[in-house]
Chain A
Amino acid sequence: MGAGGAAGAALPGERVRVSRLTRMLESEKLLAAALLAPGVVILVLFIAYPFVMALWFSVTSIRVGDAGEFVGLANFAKAWSDTIFQTAFKNTVFYTFWATIFKFALGMWLALLLNRHFRFKRLIRASMLLPFIIPTVLSAFAWRWMFDPTFSVMNWLLFHSGLITDRLPFLSDGEWAMWCAVLVNTWRGMPFFAITLLAGLQTISPDLHEAAALDGANAWHRFWHVTWPLLLPVTLVVVVFSVIQTFSDFQLIYVLTGGGPANSTHLIATYAYQVGVASGLLGEGAALSLFMFPVLFAVVWAQLRFMKRMEGA
């Protein structure tokens, strides 16, 4: 409250001139509008507007340089019956599911470890972030070289430690390649989970742990009954952002496998790119990309509902 009443203490009798600007800045509505304006302008101009254009693309037969004509849902129907798309969709779900589970589990474990006091704590915490820091394109290249059939350092390691007799088909077999992609994504994303969960852990007062310990709870019980419930909000937030990023991932697969071998590692984003850009079929590419939406939307909606319930509680 308080529109117009805070222009400074006025001497008795003196007429207080409240400038129009001040009044504006006091009004919640106008101030909100002013504050939100820059962000909204950028988002409308550079996301909302092109998004609408992309929506239009997806319902036309537009190709490079040829505006095409309205075709309704034909592009979506074609995508739905496209076997490569079906594989890509399955791959995307597989990739997101497993990578998120691993990132979360390993991130949580690492966060618990980093939460202790030990020598070089600062240095190690900072260095754990390195996979997250290095540009994805570049680290993906490094991993590709590490998996390379002819030069793989992994093969060398496993061979010389006697665990294999012939090389492993890291990227040349569809299933192996998918798991390798999950591995690289986990490597890359785990630090983010770890640091965020670490932050969450640090808000949990040690008194709570002590109290539980005094009551006779062992480490596992303490984790499950004290730590975990308090970490839930953080976990949810970080999982949602990670799922969105992973589901729409492009760079990693593009560099690591290009979608191969034989389309077995295509994700929706990489396949949409191949159709839309490499083949010039912009309308179809847009339709393919838009298939990501329902899933992401559902995830976000579920999270927002959950958060609201948590806040209400």
Chain B
Amino acid sequence: MKRRKFLKATGAGFAATGLAGILAAHRAPVFAQANTIHILRWNDFVPAADKVLREVYVPEVQKALGIKLNVETVNANDIAARATAAIQSGSGPDIIMLLNNNPQLYAAGSVDVSDIAGEVGKAQGGIYGLPQAMCTVGGKWVAMPWATVPALISYRKSWFDEIGVKEFPKTWAAYHEAGKKLKAMKRPIGQTLGHTFGDAPTFAYPLMWSYGGQEIDAKGKVVLDSKETVESVRFMTQFWKDAHDEGGLAWDDTNNNRAFLSGDISATLNGASIYVAALNGADKFKTEKGAALHTDILHAPLPTGPKGTYPYHTAFTHMVMKYSKNVKGAKEFLRWAHTPANYEKWIVVQKGFAIAPTSQWEKHKMWDVDPVMLPFKTASQKGRHMGFGGAPDKKAAEAWNKYIIVDMYAQAANGKMKPEESVKWAAGELSKIYT
């Protein structure tokens, strides 16, 4: 409090010199203090969705609730910096969109939205398990799930046909075989093992789980260093050399899109954005035979490992910030946005790239439009979360943000460490977090 008084005095000093007058003149156009909501989201991979927010939601919520909605979008990677600065300084956007289990990290700065979650869940057939796990701390909802971006493999149907694989491989072993043949034809699989929030963890964690490995057990003890995990790393090392574009170690979330659209790789784990981009750019993106690229793209889930298949999909959630001066308005907005009539406008333009957090939307007629997108419909039904074995809490979020599991595979794949060493390293890093 002393600090605040000191700064207030300094502030008064500034005002005395007329600075306040100049400040007022230069202040950003502040909307009527009455009922404004500032929402911070990422630059949507599907630009049409941001358009819906700005051109449909803004006028309509003004009409319906008298709320002036201010939509700000930034790079997904920059949201963490903004959220941290906002919570620490106690001022910033009223609603911040978060990814994965970041709600766990920022829970201390959040408003309880269990009421909204309860209403929406009841009305729309229940919220899926994965987003629920991301957003709840001790039974309380600290964020409201908005959408999930499932990750499936996009692949070139004609190329797989050429090597005699009519249906997408169902096991890792079969995928490995197919990949070997494809790489020999200069059509490798593309996968990022870099420090990127989307495609890298959604590949690494499920790979680990499908072999039976996991980070911790129910008691919070680190059990990563196991026979199963080492086997998965050993597999990946071989798989990488035999079938992958080895530049993937430097890729971020966008490289595989570009590589696929340029015809450089035959298959990659991604959201639907590759297909959507090919659809929207049908004249730009063509196969080597001259057909539109999107006619050659199909989707399939990750293959199964010895212990099953457990996907992970990126959850996108909205957190209402405790420091907000308009918590009531923020909650009203969220309720309004989730009503089927309004939510539909946003989810439909996604064309399946993002899916709803509640099961009612599986029945929506948008899924009848394009059979290529069908696998995305039910993708969110299953799935595990980071920190599986325990809760997807702050510690799991820390491990995720440090890319420990991703690096476990990357280090072995690029030959810098033997599989056993890499697993030991990862387990060591995890232990520092799970003390």
Contacts and interface: CB of A to CB of B under 8 A. Distances in A.
B83 interface: yes
A261 B402 contact: no
A76 to B, nearest CB: 14
Contacts of A276: 84
Interface of A: 45, 63-66, 78, 82-84, 148-151, 167, 169-174, 177, 257-264, 274-282
B interface, how many residues as a size bin? 35 or more
B246 A172 contact: yes
Contacts, number: 114
Given A64-B109, A149-B245, A258 B194 contact: yes
B87 A262 contact: no
A262 B410 contact: yes
A261 B258 contact: no
A151 B194 CA distance: 18
Contact of B402 (A63, A148, A151, A279): A279
Contact of A279 (B105, B107, B259, B428): B105
B246 A169 contact: yes
A260 B247 contact: no
B362 to A, nearest CB: 33
Interface of A is mostly: loop
Interface string B244-256: 0111111110010
Contacts of B109: 64-65
Contact of B195 (A45, A149, A174, A260): A260
B195 A259 contact: yes
A64 B250 contact: no
Contact of A278 (B194, B246, B247, B401): B401
A183 B391 CA distance: 44
A257 B250 contact: yes
Interface string B66-92: 000000000000001101100110000
Given A260-B195, A262-B193, A274-B401, A149 B247 contact: yes
Contact of A66 (B108, B196, B251): B108
Contact of B194 (A45, A170, A260): A260
B398 A150 contact: no
A7 to B, nearest CB: 29
B414 A45 contact: no
Contacts of B84: 64, 276-277, 280, 282
A263 B404 CA distance: 10
Given A64-B87, A279-B402, A150 B258 contact: yes
B211 to A, nearest CB: 20
Contacts of B231: none
Nearest to B406: A262
A84 B411 CA distance: 13
22 contacts: A64-B84, A64-B87, A64-B106, A65-B106, A65-B109, A83-B425, A149-B248, A150-B247, A150-B262, A169-B247, A172-B247, A172-B251, A260-B410, A262-B410, A263-B407, A274-B401, A278-B401, A280-B80, A280-B106, A280-B398, A281-B398, A282-B84
